[in-house]
Amino acid sequence: LRLHPDLAPYKVAVLPLLKKRPEIVELCQRIKDDLKRDIMAVYDDTAAIGKLYRRQDEIGTPWCVTVDVDSLEDGAVTIRDRDAMTQERVPVDNVRRVIADRRSTVPAYSRIGYDAGHDRKRYHVSHSGLVVLPHPASTDPHMLRRAS
């Protein structure tokens, strides 16, 4: 599901390559907790990595952070971009900044919330990610006439 990141239920999923390694799970939890301070992030270890990627693609999660065995040695994780299908290794300490940079480079949520053929706005996404719906009488001239 190719949702705009503003509409995705989770912005980032943190996934362990091996869920039976407690040190990998611990690093995943630390990364998730760090990301959750700014954005909706989720930890998932309920399947193999391919199925986890597929599941996150299906619900529209734009980025996945994968922690593997090499992460314990080199201190880097893999960030996977849903739309570009690219993967990049970044230091653990830079994950929050890299995700914030990627979010800021995504084109703004624009005109998706407008009626086709009309110039009135049906809804908008607030800075907190909530979809705000206006009262019908405030945007529909027919409702204004009926209410009078």
111 vs 16, which has greater pLDDT?
Answer: 16
Instruction: Give the count of beta carbons closer than 10 Å to the beta carbon of residue 22.
Output: 10
pLDDT of residue 97: 94
**Percent residues over pLDDT 90 in the chain:** 59
- Which residue from 45, 40, 52 is spatially nearest to 22, judged by alpha carbons? 45
Mean pLDDT on 50-66:
95
R_g of the chain computed on alpha carbons:
19
HEC string of 37-72 equals CCCCEEECCCCCHHHHHHHHHHHCCCEEEEECHHHH
Average pLDDT, the chain: 81
Does 107 score more than 80 pLDDT? no
Bridge partner residues of 114 (DSSP): 121
Cβ contact 57:8 at 8 Å: no
Half-sphere exposure (Cβ direction) of 123: Cα atoms closer than 13 Å: 9
Does 127 score more than 60 pLDDT? no
pTM over 0.75, yes/no: no
116 vs 71, which has greater pLDDT?
Answer: 71
Does 135 score more than 60 pLDDT? no
